[in-house]
A = this chain, B = another copy of it.
């Protein structure tokens, strides 16, 4: 029997004590950023209170403790995503976006030239689009888009043709707009058959669908701390040790060098090569704590819980607002996470969110950094509600009540 209790997670998450416009907080924006539990917040405070020091170059006790805490987080994350080569494969960045820039500007610059293809998809976040455009400007690499079907899935009907000439398939595990969970293992197998490597945008999937890089057989993964109950200011870049070792440096500075002379420098080896400057030490402590917290909840239970909430919400939204409120995403919870993008007829997403705020309901209006996807469906914006481990059916109740008000106000 599962010990998982969303009520308990909520009780452990301080922000739920907030009262917004005389309503308790109905936080439905975990896809943008999750709310950290007390354990994560306190781990960082304790770090700053007791053992803050710069890492790596110290000999004294608190510097050793800080280094152990930082490197310990690396080991925790390696375990959490089942990195085959362990901690030496984990690079800490500032966010998933930097991880993609590292991928494109280190590995990509060295490996992707004119005549090569990067295959992404129409449902990618800008973090997995813009760095490739920037690389294209420099090397002339072709950026190709997998299409999205009318029922909000990747169009894999011509996958083999699409993979022709592809050196890298870079694909999201879970869409932050549609909720669609992509068949990453299947895609990785197909890409590998074509000799391509596979990068995974795990920003959404890491905390809402799980991430096992070994089982998925991907070659790169990128995600952020703040979407997995961790802090801002930290992201993760993972790749296999052999690939990491062959990647040229990215940002230059202290910590990433083996030697510097007035006539040149030699880079360090291992993850350090990509961690220039003082790293996000407290953030790593927070991220490690968040990963352990998710492990203690059991990610399977989190996923099951969020799936149940999603199924319930999809049914009730269809029932209440037949024809007036459209869900931009798969209609069932089959290969789908708890991200529910809404298009309310006659009410712009911005206005939906504004009205919902009066009820203490936090949803995010906009393009969700996925403009090509929005264009694909002829939308400028959706109002997106998304669940986390602390979400409850009661949140959906309030969401529906507030949506009713919005629909009424705009007539």
Contacts and interface: CB of A to CB of B under 8 A. Distances in A.
Interface in A95-150: 95-98, 100-101, 104, 122, 125-127, 129-131, 133-134, 145
A276 B29 CA distance: 20
Interface string A215-253: 000000000101000011111000000000000010111
A58 B256 CA distance: 36
Interface stretch (A152-160, A186-194, A315-323, A348-356): A348-356
A57 B364 CA distance: 7
Contact of A280 (B17, B233, B360): B233
Contact of A14 (B50, B96, B277): B50
A15 B59 contact: no
A25 B62 contact: yes
A20 interface: yes
Interface stretch (A257-265, A306-314, A390-398): A257-265
A48 interface: yes
Interface of A is mostly: mixed
A292 B235 CA distance: 28
Interface stretch (A33-41, A162-170, A329-337): A33-41
A249 B114 CA distance: 22
Contacts of A231: 48, 233, 282
Interface stretch (A295-303, A366-374, A403-411): A366-374
A208 interface: no
B253 A15 contact: no
Nearest to A26: B60
Nearest to A126: B254
A38 B52 CA distance: 13
Nearest to A355: B59
Interface in A8-30: 14-15, 17-18, 20-21, 25, 27, 29
B32 A58 contact: yes
A127 B254 contact: yes
A98 B53 contact: no
A36 to B, nearest CB: 5
A109 to B, nearest CB: 10
A363 interface: yes
Contacts of A45: 41-42, 44-45
30 contacts: A14-B48, A14-B49, A15-B48, A15-B52, A27-B62, A29-B53, A29-B60, A32-B53, A36-B52, A44-B45, A57-B365, A60-B353, A61-B357, A94-B233, A94-B280, A96-B277, A97-B276, A98-B276, A104-B252, A122-B262, A126-B260, A129-B260, A130-B252, A130-B256, A130-B265, A131-B253, A134-B252, A232-B280, A233-B281, A261-B371
